[in-house]
Structure 1
Amino acid sequence: MTHAERIARLRLIRTPNIGPVSWHQLMQRFGSGEAALEALPDLAVRGGGKLRLAPAEVAEREIARVAALGARHVFCDDGGYSPLLREVEAAPPVLIVRRDTAMLERPCVAIVGARNASAIACRFARQLAADLAARGVTVVSGLARGVDTAAHVGAMGGNTVGVIASGIDIAFPPENAALQDRIGTDQLLVAEQPPGTEPLARHFPARNRIIAGMAHGTVVIEAAPKSGSLITARRAGDYGREVMAVPGSPLDPRAQGCNLLIREGATLIQTVDDVLEAVGPIDARMAREPRQAFAAPAAAEPMGEGDRAAVANLLGPTPVAIDEIVRQSGRPAAAVQLVLLELELAGRLERHAGARISLL
């Protein structure tokens, strides 16, 4: 990939109104970041708005800053990108990483749980992570307080991946600064956000999808019913990965989320052998695919104003499945996706989990 193409791809994802799904659609439609950049203004106009492209200088400065931090950008079709994460529909177009991405090609298991975890939960997480690492499994977690921290510490004798919700130069929580630096020096540290980005609330669900996407399975150790750990587990289930949970006392609110997952069909985990038995069949099915290659530019579908109106009129403030829009509009799926892309680039469309969309 040329330097100009890397700059173009980075400009795309740093442009407002372009998220991971629309980034991938643009790349598939036009075949390169440079071609997509040229087409963007016209697409936004057809969607009824204007688009403010991220300047090339912004991308250049980011690349220089990342290099100065001892990190690098890895695009979704680069060799160092997680082969499992690449299969996720909303996979990050680019990640910023420090150190060894080769560990992502080994079996990976995510361990997540409560930030205010009990002492016994932290002990279990630390021991489970150590046992998995000793068996050659890469342990993935989010560098949060409690269970995440214990999992990273336990896996230090093998391989562990820390996925953070901030820029790669910002430690959160602050007390994990030394651990985060150690992971970035000896293991693998991963961030989706550009350097200098504070860990805002909206970044954590995005971080959680990366954790779930990188792993063959996710183990939850203590979690409240509406916690971020359960979001990670449900994402894992959506991706067809194994969901595992450690049972706890019904009298402990921190165990309610895990017990709920088990009731809903998650695998009950008590030992490292339970984890390996659960992810073993999945590991066999998830053999690494060749690197993704973006398609050659696709021919533009003939779209008139009547077609656009037929799609736009079916949308409203309530999220609806894209498949339902295709069915009710009677238009080809590719044509509907093009209209939705135009609306998103114009700032009129919002994407939601489960391939649902709504008008802003």
Structure 2
Amino acid sequence: MWLRLARTRGLGAIGFARAIAHYGNAADAIDDLPARARSAGRREITIPSRDTAEAEMEQIDRFGARLITGLDPDYPDLLAAIPGPPPVLIVRGDPSLLERPGCAMVGARNASAVGLRFARELANGLGREGVAVVSGLARGIDGAAHSGAIETGTIAVLAGGIDHIYPPEHADLHARLGEQGLLLSEIPLGQTPTARDFPRRNRLISGLALGTLVVEAALRSGSLITARYAAEQGREVMAVPGSPLDPRARGSNQLLRDGAHLIESVDDVLDILSKARRPEPPVGGLEDLPAERLADLFPDDESDPSHHESRSEPTARTPLDRLRALLSPAPVSGDELARAADLPVGEVQAMLLEMEMSGEVSTLPDGLVQRRRQS
């Protein structure tokens, strides 16, 4: 019954929570909601059949995953405390990671090589201290965070079904997360994400963690949406300072101006998390809702277009484009650029020479390179 109500089209997580608070259980809600919707002049709602729900359960089992509902004792307490927590979660991997203190780590998809290295180092250090690193398996900082903590504990929150691999280059990382880490989503298996699913995913990334750390982020980015959710959920917001010359640092630097905690090391993060308040799940329910207020069970706030995160992804890029995206005003070695771009060192050095001759980069006396400030 719980799964059928959770998959009712148009209800949403907030509507589900209100329905449970109003009716007391999923069975009574399923029995009464269609009639009340008609009497209130609403369009008829679509509740999946028992066979449909059982088929989804069988699909989850075949994939080697499991369903966690809001009734289960291992449903994450931190997630239960957010407004409109997801009524069901589909997970694959090590669910004990949900019991650890979590730190969300997000940032730019077109991250610099320095940002990628710092994210990996932070994630690895946090994992070694028993912190579960939570991120969204996107390109850039997300992938670096998962890679850094894959041996020590990391949770990937997906916008589509956990069987949907995106981006394609993270196929190996996705597979490892399903074994050593944890893949998690509120979306049924087999579904590819839509634009509205990404901000919904972001609220889960912040909701699973005591704090959210932004490594690199432009002023208009999904990472700042995650940071905003963290603040609204009463969680800590942290940011790594970046060069004022790098547009990828403007969003994270703005967070610092707005009061986010400045992070320069693993110890900084651990100190913030040790002082973080653990929110408690809400207690009690709503007053009885009259039929004319049935619309409260079908909120539109989760489909607010202003919450949509851009899903524009770069098409196949040339090696030079990949190298340019990794450069920043922060000095970096050619070897590190080659590793981050997955290119031969000799090829990278040749491209850097051309870029230096054209005025795009500068080579410092110690051999490190940095992007030149555009005049």
Task: Compute the TM-score of the two structures, normalised by the length of structure 2.
Answer: 0.77
Q: Name the CA shift for 1:252/1:293 in 2 (closer, same or farther; >3 Å).
A: closer
Specify the structure having the higher radius of gyration (Cα). Answer: 2
1:259 match: secondary structure? helix
Mapped partners of 2:6, 2:108: distance in 1: 32
Q: 1:5 matched to which residue of 2?
A: none
Counting matched residue pairs gives: 304
Range that drifts further, 255-264 or 52-61:
52-61
Distance 1:58 1:138 in 2: 34
1:170 equivalenced with 2:164 (yes/no): yes
Q: Distance in 1 between matches of 2:32 and 2:284?
A: 17
The structure 1 residue matched to 2:295, chosen from 329, 337, 340, is: 340
Q: Which moved more, 1:55-64 or 1:234-243?
A: 55-64
In the TM superposition, 1:114-263 aligns within 5 A as 114-263=108-257
Q: Cα 1:130–1:288, aligned 2, differ >3 Å: closer, same or farther?
A: farther
2:95 pairs, out of 90, 101, 112, with 101
Q: CA deviation at 1:267?
A: 0.6
Amino acid at match of 1:38: D
Name the counterpart of 1:34: 27
Partners of 1:288 and 1:131 in 2: CA distance? 28
Question: What is the CA distance between 1:100 and its match in structure 2?
Answer: 1.9
Note the alpha carbon deviations across 1:263-309, whole angstroms, 9 max, x for none. Answer: 11101110011111112111xx31777xx8987xx8846x48xxx4x
**Matched AA of 1:164:** L
> Does the 8 A contact of 1:32 with 1:294 survive in 2?
no
AA aligned opposite 1:83: D
CA contact (8 A) 1:115 1:147 kept: yes
Cα 1:45–1:154 change in 2 (3 A) is same
- Mapped contact 1:31–1:294 kept (Cα < 8 A): no
Q: Secondary structure at the match of 1:15?
A: coil
Q: Is this contact kept in 2: 1:27–1:294, CA < 8 A?
A: no
User: 1:286 matched to which residue of 2?
Assistant: 278
Is 1:58 aligned with 2:13?
A: no
Question: What amino acid sits opposite 1:341 in the alignment?
Answer: D
How many Å separate the matches in 2 of 1:77 and 1:125?
A: 35
SS of 2:115 mapped into structure 1: helix
Q: Which residue of 2 aligns with 1:350?
A: 300
3-state DSSP class of the match of 2:301?
strand
Residue 16 of structure 2 is aligned to residue 23 of structure 1: yes
- 8 Å Cα contact 1:205/1:228 also seen in 2: yes
Q: Does the residue aligned with 1:84 lie in a helix, a strand or coil? A: helix
| Shift in alpha-carbon separation, 1:294–1:99, aligned structure 2, 3 A | farther
SS at match of 2:77: coil
What per-residue deviation string (whole Å, max 9, x for no partner) do you get for residues 88-145 of structure 1?
A: 0121110100122222222110110001000000000000001101111111111111
Unmatched tracts of structure 1, length 5 or more: 1-7, 309-337, 355-360
Per-residue CA shift, 1:207-265, capped at 9, x if unaligned?
A: 10000000000000111111111100010000110000011111111001000100111
The residue that corresponds to 2:313 in the other structure is none
Q: Within 1, Cα distance between the matches of 2:202 and 2:133?
A: 14
Q: 1:39 to 1:116 in 2, by over 3 A?
A: same
> What residue is the counterpart of 2:2 in the other structure?
9
**Mapped contact 2:161–2:190 kept (Cα < 8 A):** yes
- Give the match for residue 36 of structure 2: 43
Query: What is the identity, as a one-letter code, of the residue corresponding to 1:218?
Result: T
| 1:77 is aligned to 2:27 | no
Following TM superposition, the consecutive aligned residue runs of length 4 or more in structure 1 with deviations greater than 3 angstroms are 292-295, 298-301
Quote the Cα distance in structure 2 between the aligned partners of 1:48 and 1:132. Answer: 53
**What's the secondary structure of 2:242's corresponding residue?**
coil
SS of equivalent to 2:223: helix
8 Å Cα contact 1:223-1:255 kept in structure 2? yes
C-alpha distance in structure 1 between counterparts of 2:75 and 2:94, whole Å: 11
Q: CA RMSD in A?
A: 2.2
1:334 — aligned with what? none
Q: What is the CA-CA distance between 1:351 and the residue it aligns to? A: 2.3
**How far apart are the structure 2 equivalents of 1:93 and 1:250?**
42
Provide the rounded CA distance (Å) in 1 between the counterparts of 2:186 and 2:20.
19
Decide whether aligned partners of structure 1 residues 293 and 101 sit closer, same or farther in structure 2, where only a CA change above 3 A counts.
Answer: farther
Distance 1:273 1:46, change over 3 A: same
Q: What is the TM-score when the length of structure 1 is the normalising length?
A: 0.80
8 A Cα contact 1:21 1:89, kept in partner: yes
Q: Following TM superposition, by how much is the alpha carbon of 1:28 offset from its aligned partner in structure 2, in angstroms?
A: 1.6
- Give the gaps of 5 or more residues in structure 2: 305-375
